[in-house]
Structure 1
Amino acid sequence: MIYDVIIVGSGSVGAAAGCYATINNLNVLMIDAHHPPHQQGSHHGTTRLMRYAYAEGDRYMPLLQRSKVLWDALEKTSSTTLFRRSGVLSIAPLNAPLIPQLLASAQTWSVQVEALSAQQIRQRWETFVVPDDFHGVLDKEAGYLYSEKAVEQWIRLAQEQGCAQLFNCPVTAIEHHDELYRVTTADGDYTARKIIITAGSWAKKLVPDLPITPVRKVMAWFQSDGRFSHHTHFPAFTAQLDDGSQYYGFPAEDDQLKVARHDGGQPLQSAAECLPFGQVPTDGSECFAFLKQFLPGQSACLFGQACSYDNSPDGHFIIDYLDENKTGLVISGLSGHGFKCAPALGEIASHFALGQEIDTVISPFRLQRFATA
């Protein structure tokens, strides 16, 4: 049997791509080394931030705005709550460029935001202790997504539409000849006219020249109370400190406040090196300094999880073709901020599978930028 497209890696982007391609009547095979949603990638940990004012650059705004539409559609189709509009408060020192960049992005793309001084932040959220030499911006329509639920719904919808799914089955090799791709797995060989590789941190095993660095990251849950809950309108948040370190967190649920550090982490050579939370000495304490200064009153670290980011050299997405005939596509290097764009990336992948032109939309993310850097 020859599939129209095989998708290697069925996490957030791969699950979306498989769902959209199947809905568009393609004969699709989705493959994953585990059974998504799982805890061997970067999308787990229950929740992920969704922001619309974006300092990472204008290239992301069309993806974010299209994703917003697709998230809403997925929520309605699945009859499942996937998004909480808590607002996202971003704070940074007055002398840092982050807040001006967010405000400029919001103005250009008509995003609803509110600029706030440190005093205004403290007045609105008494539990947020922000120094006078900081300021912030509230992204009003932003919030957080239930990431694993979303992947689960894409997987389910794709299956119901007739998508073939081969899970708990690693891919060991990919070959391209006679205008077909042959994918070798522990279960046998499969053939397709097109292939999409969305294998996260381990895509480099299949595309050796891919310039990504897998990095182990952790997130931790701290004992909290109702003052930090979404019921009291406490926002999701990001924070850049004086030393440039970056943190993010979510309103407390079940008296547990989830906080993580975005930068840093431990480079990985293999999945086996992505040790469970607690096996690296700094796991439970890397957020302590931030919590002590900005959110005092949080107590012990209750538990945590480890995941992996597929970091590109410049921190921006990699989306490019695998061959001159444009029958293979790789989406990687999402660098820890890919999930919020996952629906749009999955849709782009499905357009590729359908033979539609995607050169314009992927142009800012192609590999040629590293050759000319």
Structure 2
Amino acid sequence: MIYDVIIVGSGSVGAAAGCYATINNLNVLMIDAHHPPHNQGSHHGKTRLIRYAYAEGDRYVPLLQRSKVLWEALEKTSATTLFRRSGVLSIAPIDSPLIPKLVDSAKTWSIDVETLTASDIMQRWETFVIPQEYHGVLDKDAGYLYSEKAVEQWIRLAQEQGCAQLFNCPVESISHYDDLYRVTTADGDYTARKIIITAGSWAKKLLPDLPISPVRKVMAWFQSDGRFSHHTHFPAFTAQLTDGSQYYGFPAEEDQLKVARYDGGQPLNDATECLPFGQYPTDGRECFTFLKQFLPGQSACLFGQACSHDNSPDGDFIIDYLDEDKTGLVISGLSGHGFKCAPALGEIASQFAMGNEIETIISPFRLTRFDKS
């Protein structure tokens, strides 16, 4: 059998791509080294933030706006709650460019935000302690997504529509010949007219020249109480400290407050190096500095999880063709901020598989931006 498209890596973007391509009547094979949703990539840990005012650049806002529509559609189709609107509060030093960038993004794209002084923040959320040299902005319609549930629904819907799925089966190699792609796995060889590689941190094993740097990251859950719950309107949040370190967190669920550090991490060369939470001395305490200063009173770390980020050199997504005939596509380098855009990225991949034009959409994310000439 020759498939219309093979998708290598079926986590967040791959799961969405497989679902949308199958719904559009393509003959699709999804492959993953594990059974998604799983804890061997970047989509686990229960939740991910979604923000609309975006300091990372205007090129992301159309992806976010389209993703918002697709997230709502997936919720309706799957009859599953995938998004919780909590607002996202971003905090940074007054002399940092972060908050002005968020405000500019909001003005450009008519996003509903509210700027707040340190005193404003502490008056509204008494659990925060904010130094006067900080300020913030609240992205009112933002919130967080239930990431593993979302992947589970895409996988289920794809299967119900007739998508072939080969899970718990690592890809050994990919070759391109006679206008076809051959994917070699432990289960045998599979052939398709087109291929989409969405293998996260492990895409570099299949595409050695891909300029990504896999990094091990950890998330931790701390004993909390009802004051930090979405029921009391506690927001999801991001924070940039004066030393440049960056943190983010979510309203507590079941008296567990999830917090993580965005920067840093341990470089990875292989999936076996992504050790479980607790295997590094810093794992349980890397958020203590932030918590002690901004959310004092939190108890001990209850548990944590480790995941991997596929960081690009500039922190921006990588979306590009694999060959001159444009029959292969890679989506990688999501650099720890890609899950919120997974529906739009999956839709782009499915449009590629159908032979539709995607040049304009992907032009800011192509590999040519790294050319030295």
TM-score, normalised to structure 1, is 1.00
CA distance in 1, matches of 2:288, 2:69: 37
The alignment partner of 1:307 has SS state of strand
2:180 — aligned with what? Answer: 180
CA distance in 2, matches of 1:271, 1:23: 32
CA distance in 2, matches of 1:29, 1:137: 43
Deviation per CA, 1:105-154: give whole Å up to 9, x if none. Answer: 00101110000000000000000101111000000000000000000000
Partner AA of 1:94 in structure 2: I
Q: Does 1:211 align with 2:211?
A: yes
Query: How many angstroms does 1:13 deviate by?
Result: 0.1
1:160 — aligned with what? Answer: 160
Superposition map of 1:140-159 within 5 A: 140-159=140-159
The alignment partner of 2:45 has SS state of coil
2:92 — aligned with what? Answer: 92
Deviation per CA, 1:31-78: give whole Å up to 9, x if none. Answer: 000000000001100000000010000010110000000000000000
Partner AA of 1:244 in structure 2: G
2:29 — aligned with what? Answer: 29
CA distance in 2, matches of 1:366, 1:292: 41
Deviation per CA, 1:83-125: give whole Å up to 9, x if none. Answer: 0000000000000000000000001011100000000000000
Gaps of 5+ in 2: none
CA distance in 2, matches of 1:207, 1:278: 31
1:247 — aligned with what? Answer: 247
CA distance in 2, matches of 1:219, 1:173: 32
CA distance in 1, matches of 2:215, 2:58: 26
Partner AA of 1:335 in structure 2: S
CA distance in 1, matches of 2:281, 2:13: 32
CA distance in 2, matches of 1:151, 1:225: 29
2:238 — aligned with what? Answer: 238
Partner AA of 1:29 in structure 2: L
Partner AA of 2:310 in structure 1: D
The alignment partner of 1:141 has SS state of coil
Query: How many angstroms does 1:310 deviate by?
Result: 0.2
Superposition map of 1:292-371 within 5 A: 292-371=292-371
CA distance in 2, matches of 1:189, 1:323: 20
Partner AA of 2:311 in structure 1: N
Superposition map of 1:61-100 within 5 A: 61-100=61-100
- Identity rate of aligned residues, in percent? 86
CA distance in 1, matches of 2:222, 2:253: 11
| Aligned-CA RMSD value | 0.5
1:133 — aligned with what? Answer: 133
Q: Does 1:106 align with 2:109?
A: no
Partner AA of 2:91 in structure 1: I
Partner AA of 1:50 in structure 2: I
4+ aligned runs moved over 4 Å, structure 1: none
Q: Does 1:264 align with 2:251?
A: no
Q: Does 1:18 align with 2:18?
A: yes
Deviation per CA, 1:157-188: give whole Å up to 9, x if none. Answer: 00000000000000000000000000000100
CA distance in 1, matches of 2:134, 2:369: 35
CA distance in 1, matches of 2:38, 2:225: 29
Partner AA of 2:157 in structure 1: L
Deviation per CA, 1:258-306: give whole Å up to 9, x if none. Answer: 0000000000011111000000000000000000000001010000000
CA distance in 2, matches of 1:70, 1:263: 29
The alignment partner of 1:71 has SS state of helix
Query: How many angstroms does 1:372 deviate by?
Result: 3.4
CA distance in 2, matches of 1:102, 1:182: 44
CA distance in 2, matches of 1:121, 1:338: 28
The alignment partner of 1:369 has SS state of helix
Query: How many angstroms does 1:224 deviate by?
Result: 0.4
CA distance in 2, matches of 1:115, 1:24: 43
CA distance in 2, matches of 1:170, 1:271: 12
CA distance in 1, matches of 2:95, 2:175: 51
The alignment partner of 1:116 has SS state of strand
CA distance in 1, matches of 2:182, 2:101: 45
CA distance in 1, matches of 2:368, 2:97: 28
The alignment partner of 1:42 has SS state of coil
Partner AA of 2:356 in structure 1: Q
CA distance in 2, matches of 1:237, 1:72: 22
The alignment partner of 1:325 has SS state of coil
Deviation per CA, 1:311-348: give whole Å up to 9, x if none. Answer: 00000000000000000000000000000000000000
Partner AA of 1:66 in structure 2: R
CA distance in 1, matches of 2:307, 2:110: 33
CA distance in 2, matches of 1:88, 1:189: 46
Q: Does 1:286 align with 2:286?
A: yes
Partner AA of 1:242 in structure 2: T
